[in-house]
Amino acid sequence: MSALLALLFAGGTAPAMVVIDETATVREEAPPHGSIGLSTAYRISDAVPAPRSFEFRKRALHVGAAIGIHPIDHDEIYYVLSGAGVVHSDGEEKELKAGTAAWLYKGATVGIRQTGREPLVLIIAYPNKAPAP
């Protein structure tokens, strides 16, 4: 039986894993959807060879910065690592702090803004429409 398991799991068709150091992906830029303030972007999934089925990003919204309100055509998750902010979805707003997540649904109009004295540091994840070539 162990020979069969070894055969089944050896040399599978999945690509090799990718390990990414976020410091290799960092850049300072205006946040998307309105260029409101400044942010530090960690475009982690950009370092993954194609094709990839979803995006995984870290972004630090500097004091006063925001990802502007925009429609989404996929589910999207904002997970707060540190700082505080307010997330917007279809006219409703909720406060977020470290350890909270906002699950935003396809078809909503969404955005998030930094509040407080420290940057709002987020993980943002969402599927690609089609895997990148």
Q: How confident is the model at residue 115 (pLDDT cuts 50, 70, 90)?
A: very high
DSSP label of 66: E
pTM score of the predicted model: 0.85
Tens digits of residue pLDDT in 50-76: 888 899 999 999 999 999 999 999 999
Tens digits of residue pLDDT in 97-111: 999 999 999 999 999
According to the model, what pLDDT value does residue 11 have?
60
Please give the angle made by the CA atoms of 130, 131 and 133, to the nearest 5 degrees.
115
Task: Give the CATH superfamily of 22-127.
Answer: Jelly Rolls (2.60.120.10)
All structural domains of the chain with their residue ranges: 22-127
According to the model, what pLDDT value does residue 16 have?
87
Query: Phi and psi for 15 in degrees, rounded to 5?
Result: -65, 160
According to the model, what pLDDT value does residue 7 have?
44
Average pLDDT over residues 14-37: 95
Q: Which residue has the tokens 């068709």?
A: 13
Mean pLDDT of the chain: 90
Please give the angle made by the CA atoms of 58, 62 and 68, to the nearest 5 degrees.
75
